[in-house]
Amino acid sequence: MKYFTWLLKAAIFFTLFAFALNNQQDATVHFFFGTQWRAPLVLVVLAAFALGLAIGALGMVPRWWKHRVAAHRAQHPPAVPAPELAAPAVPHGL
């Protein structure tokens, strides 16, 4: 099984490497106000992928934080104050 995973990883690597070698033509990305970015197509695809990962991870931060706080509260419950030893209040009229 260990060799199969290494073979799969090697196949994925060589496929991506062949993709990079076959897409070395320049691509132009047009932004607003007439600005543009010229780069090899493989870099444009890699940049779009990395930007998508970053935006996705930043979108998950509030949920991760909420679950982290909930897990911390579950492991460390708040201390309950000890009950006071005062006499119970007696209602009037009895």
> pLDDT tens-digit profile of 62-87?
999 999 988 988 888 777 766 666 66
- Which structural domain range is residue 20 located in? 11-74
> pLDDT tens-digit profile of 13-72?
888 888 888 878 888 888 899 899 898 888 888 889 999 999 999 999 999 999 998 898
- 17 is a domain residue: yes
- 1 is a domain residue: no
- 59 is a domain residue: yes
CA gap 40, 28 in Å, rounded: 9
DSSP the chain: -HHHHHHHHHHHHHHHHHHHHH--SEEEEE-GGG-EEEEEHHHHHHHHHHHHHHHHHHHHHHHHHHHHHHHHHHHSPPPPPPPP-PPPPPPTT-
- 89 is a domain residue: no
Model pLDDT, residue 78: 75
Domains: count for the chain: 1
- 2 is a domain residue: no
